[in-house]
Structure 1
Amino acid sequence: MSELKAALDQIVAEMANAPERGEVASYIPELGKVDPAKFGIAVIMNDGGVATAGDADEPFSIQSISKVFTLALALGRVGDTLWKRVGREPSGTPFNSIVQLEREEGIPRNPFINAGAIVVSDVLLAGHQPREAIGEILSFVRSVADDETIVIDRDVASSERATGYRNFALANYLKGFGNLNHAPELTLGVYFHHCAIAMSCKQLANAGRFLANSGRIPSLNHTVISGERARRINALMLTCGHYDGSGEFAFRVGIPGKSGVGGGILAIVPGVASIAVWSPGLNDRGNSMLGSIALEQLAKRMNWSIFSS
């Protein structure tokens, strides 16, 4: 653990002096208020070891990282029938592309782009009121993180609803193609709220432990999902977790990861560790600029690429 802690401290020091930090997601007004100088990182080893550095205990809006947890829930609810409504291929387009959704007749390319996550939210809404579905998602995240203090940032959720015109367009396209079973505003209510979950790096790394350990949380003696399902979610994170920057992330970092426009990234080293990093400034693909660089450095120093021999 001393080697890991030293690596994290060095990375934080290097990131503090980075000449470029990217741009915060100001198109969501509440996210535009976040200090771009923030940087935190946390690693939870499968054997229970914990190492953190920087602003690892400060909550931030996890945004699209929440799609990892809603996907796990939806697969638990409907199983592989989910794939009749959502694909499993990289998009190669921005996360909020409308053109692709129209061309492919309302079937989103994967569950991590906005359209796909809206369909997943629609699945979780079935049989519930929006408030109940949101509560179920939050309860699941609290459960896998083993932390009942995790909350939804209501200001961020309201900010997203007030400015989410492209998401409303996507939802209406989905409805028009028959791939949304509820009213767009109801499904989007669920979607906006789970994207507004606030977590620290340490909480987020804890929440990802089951993906690093074949679906189980050893410290809780609890199986969340099957090992096969954990592998498949990790595969989707590797190929689709960074939108049209997914190939570059896989090339440079070499581990599954899911980004969010709040500047967070959840990364998984299967069989080894769960990692969360946060730096609010984004690159031109909508992924954390310094978070991506930090994970590349950490993977190299610890030899954590899934492609390592």
Structure 2
Amino acid sequence: MKLARVRDTQGEVFWGRVADDLQSVQRVGVPFALWAPAVARHGQAALELRGGSLALASLQLCAPVQPGARVFGVGMNYLTHLTRLGRTQPPPHTIAYIKPASAIVPPGGEIQYPAVTQQLDYEVELVAVVARALGDEPQASACLLGYTVGNDISARDAGKQLGSLDLFTQKALDRTAPIGPWITTLDEFGGAGQPAVTLSLRINGEQRQHDNTDQMIFPLDELLNYVDARIALRPGDLVFTGSTCGVGLEDGRFLQPGDVVEAQIEGIGVLRNTIGPRRVLSEHRATGRLGSPG
């Protein structure tokens, strides 16, 4: 099933179960902390749905992120991507980073073009949503609620002046992490284990990325354990799982203001966003060493 976080016409935000035809939503009647860990065992019954169905068209989709949850990302996880960037051998392990809540962008929302970059890039990614603490679970993916779509917007020129990686500037910028449109529960992917679904990304209708999640260098269980060994994952946390080839860094075709970006993953749906105007810093802030106004 699909679970969305929505806002109604009175401004109230709540979780709901999306109907199979994607036309309506029924409200979840219990707190997230109660239903999220129980969905894998009890399915829809754990949601205790209440009230009548609401037309999805009358609601605003929010990013499917529970307030207080953390958003993690990992990199270097598709060999075709690394090969096109000149690396022929897989790395010994992944790298990870954290995105702040201010980076999150809802479905249909505007992605900010930050003032500190001239090379704004895109990366479609499968995003794992945690349902319960991993603890001593032998298969980490069994602790997931399901998956959603993420677009890991990145400032590719971050760190060039340093000659080294600057993940803070590259990956943590405000309003650069679209997530959505909803979560598809783990059972629709065959349960725990490595998912094998097609993912793709289009810019203004032109396909730029296309691959399958079975091509990950580091399987999902390994990625989850990597993060959890450093920061214990909690219910609601999200983990971006890396992206494939076709990004702007490979051919210099970076995102521009006004671009319409559509990230799509089989079994979940399409996450559509627009690139906003370049942010311009005031003169006294634009002289900082991290960048210059766009």
User: Which is strand-richer, 1 or 2?
Assistant: 2
User: Which is helix-richer, 1 or 2?
Assistant: 1
Query: Based on CA coordinates, which of the two structures has the bigger radius of gyration?
Result: 2
State the TM-score bracket (shorter-chain normalisation). Answer: under 0.3
Normalising to structure 2: TM-score of the pair?
Answer: 0.27
